[in-house]
Structure 1
Amino acid sequence: MVEVAEYGVESFDSRLRREAMAWLTVRTNDGEEWLTREDIQDFTLGGEKRRLQATQTGIWKPKDLSAALSIQTVYRAPGRERPYNDEVGSDGLLRYAWRGDDPDHPDNRALRSAMEQQVPLIWFFGVGMGPAVFQPVFPVYLLWEEPDQKQFVIDPNVGRGIVNRESPIEEHLRQYLMVETKRRLHQPVFRSTVLRAYRSKCAVCALAHKELLDAAHIVPDAAEQGIASIVNGMALCKIHHAAFDAHILGIRPDLVVEVRDDILAEVDGPMLTYGIQARHGQRLMELPANRREYPSRNLLEHAYQSFLSA
């Protein structure tokens, strides 16, 4: 039975998008978890399996929809380029590249239709390979097209209604867009990328309870060196994350933990003794399997110098 929406009968298109996003909300624990490609194939609608994601391309439009349902960005380890770029423009808005050079390619027409109809899309952002792992980000919308650059302007439900192609984006609005885009897209993608690489274990103590772990930035993302990349991240439990940020403990470029001298001399309870002081001089207990995803030595050195000067 087709459900009745506020202003009439809900279309199949609207129902599919709504139920897919509701299902993804549950399956990702409200965006806290990543999904494998196989996980994503579990979605059903009305008892029938429905595909939500392209397998060979970046854009997926089911045959019975008039517009694209989802887009994806594949994961590439640091140092390896993606086959196409999805970048942030100087205005703080994201771009999603056409498929190929032909504006009339069916995939590009499917995105154009989604833009014209202003329907919500799902963005499957790759956070790991072997198996392919994705962080779903939704809803996202296409604001306008930039044919000269062969791309669409994409918005994670931040700028709709407050920006348009004809009006220049003022600085205060640009800053707002960049902050909100980071919160809604980059932060969940960064978290999933880091925790997946560290097998959901704290790098310092190997605690394996994901709900007690953070994706910690080695250099704060607000700093000039604070790049949004896995090489600027480590999985840390909440205690060791707070201790790292407070310069209670530091991590040398050779991946050895140091604890501040005054903290080593302090006498307190078992948490300090076993949780902090006992880690002094110990090598990190958990690191990514792929050496390309190891913490950057340059960024560790930068953070370590801050620790020494604290």
Structure 2
Amino acid sequence: MPDVWPEATQDALRAAAIRWLAVRTNDGLDALTSEEIAEFTFGGQGFRLMDPQRGIRKPRQFTAALSIRTTYRPAGADRPYDDDLGPDGLVRYKWRGGDPDHPENRALREAMLRRVPLIWFWGVGPALYKPVYPVYLIGEEVAQQQFVVATDGLQHLQATESPMEEVLRRYLRQETYRRLHQPVFRSMVMRAYESRCAVCQLRHSPLLDAAHIVEDRHERGIASVRNGLALCKIHHAAYDVGILGLTPELRVEVRADILGEVDGPLLEHGIKKLHGRPLMVVPRRRADRPDPELLQIHYERFRAS
């Protein structure tokens, strides 16, 4: 093929990469290592989707950027995306350096002008990334040296002065959280708990959730691994509705009326027998373990119920 591929071929690779990532990540549930991301092929040849050294990947065969990357930040830098969310509910991605004509910034600008889909590799651990796809660049803020990123097609809609504008902005914030921040939170929690339910050790990723100890609408409900628990869907539901609680010492408690209830084997063995037991899975790194203060907030609410 020539050095620069026809646009149709570039678009075909983008589509193939997104389909491949959907399969490899369990339809967006799981994170991938750098080595796993490097296994992508197109036309029988290996093709790098992510630049291991730079934040912006613009293959020589392309006229526009293919992917962007946000590096992992270790404990002590909770909510690394705070500064990236604008007042309109959309995410921002910074230029490479301060030069608007840097080749990588031009590659992002071309992706914006062509409205082609990009892949955002968000670091959730050392050499571990949560791919978010597709995302689109829908504007550039030169004074702030950044691009405006949409994580959903509806975010291409322009804001107006109508009474619906604030409703639209609230919706966009919710969609941004669902499409970007929540999956990143999930990947960080799954990494910490080695993709196992903290209560029962179930390992099947599609059956696991990243549960908030304190819900995200609470003033302390940050999307940090220390506010997270890896729970299977049954135990997540039981935790959320107050059937199951967790003490600050990481011991499981079951609501008193449930302990006296007679039902089938799921309740008997899957819920009631957990009462008084310690968590079966606790993060190896102390910095990833549940925050006792957050556990206390939820536990007091559980006891009150």
Q: TM-score, normalised by structure 1?
A: 0.89
Counterpart of 1:25 in structure 2 is 22
Once the two structures are overlaid, the 10-residue window that deviates more, 274-283 or 117-126, is 274-283
Counterpart of 1:109 in structure 2 is 106
Give the AA of the match of 1:272: L
Task: Tell me if structure 1 keeps the 8 A contact 2:155–2:172.
Answer: no
- The gaps in structure 1 that reach 5 residues or longer are 2-8
Once the two structures are overlaid, the 10-residue window that deviates more, 50-59 or 30-39, is 30-39
Q: Deviations over 1:139-182 (max 9, x none)?
A: 11111111221211111124443126x97992111101011112
Looking at structure 2, the residues matched to 82 and 208 of structure 1 have their Cα atoms a distance apart, in angstroms, of: 27
Task: Tell me if structure 1 keeps the 8 A contact 2:207–2:233.
Answer: yes
Counterpart of 2:247 in structure 1 is 252
Task: Tell me if structure 2 keeps the 8 A contact 1:86–1:97.
Answer: no
Task: Tell me if structure 2 keeps the 8 A contact 1:251–1:300.
Answer: yes
Q: Deviations over 1:204-238 (max 9, x none)?
A: 12122223211111112233322222222111112
Corresponding position: 1:52 with 2:56: no
Looking at structure 2, the residues matched to 193 and 127 of structure 1 have their Cα atoms a distance apart, in angstroms, of: 5
Alignment RMSD, CA only?
2.3
Task: Tell me if structure 2 keeps the 8 A contact 1:115–1:141.
Answer: yes
Task: Tell me if structure 1 keeps the 8 A contact 2:138–2:156.
Answer: no
Q: 1:119 to 1:86 in 2, by over 3 A?
A: farther
Q: Secondary structure at the match of 2:156?
A: coil
Corresponding position: 1:214 with 2:209: yes
Corresponding position: 1:126 with 2:123: yes
Counterpart of 1:6 in structure 2 is none
- The gaps in structure 2 that reach 5 residues or longer are none
Q: 1:227 to 1:80 in 2, by over 3 A?
A: closer
Looking at structure 2, the residues matched to 294 and 83 of structure 1 have their Cα atoms a distance apart, in angstroms, of: 18
Counterpart of 1:194 in structure 2 is 189
Counterpart of 1:298 in structure 2 is 293
Task: Tell me if structure 2 keeps the 8 A contact 1:76–1:82.
Answer: no
Q: Deviations over 1:67-103 (max 9, x none)?
A: 1100011222331379997611121110111122222
Looking at structure 2, the residues matched to 175 and 124 of structure 1 have their Cα atoms a distance apart, in angstroms, of: 25
Q: 1:83 to 1:245 in 2, by over 3 A?
A: closer
Shift of 1:10: 5.8
Looking at structure 1, the residues matched to 170 and 98 of structure 2 have their Cα atoms a distance apart, in angstroms, of: 32
Counterpart of 1:308 in structure 2 is 303
Task: Tell me if structure 2 keeps the 8 A contact 1:128–1:197.
Answer: no
Match of 1:184 among 160, 179, 195: 179
Match of 2:39 among 39, 42, 45: 42
Give the AA of the match of 2:119: I
Shift of 1:37: 0.8
Looking at structure 2, the residues matched to 23 and 134 of structure 1 have their Cα atoms a distance apart, in angstroms, of: 15
Once the two structures are overlaid, the 10-residue window that deviates more, 76-85 or 223-232, is 76-85
Matches within 5 A, 1:211-250: 211-250=206-245
Q: TM-score, normalised by structure 2?
A: 0.91
Q: 1:206 to 1:297 in 2, by over 3 A?
A: same
Q: 1:45 to 1:198 in 2, by over 3 A?
A: same
- Number of residue pairs aligned between Structure 1 and Structure 2: 300
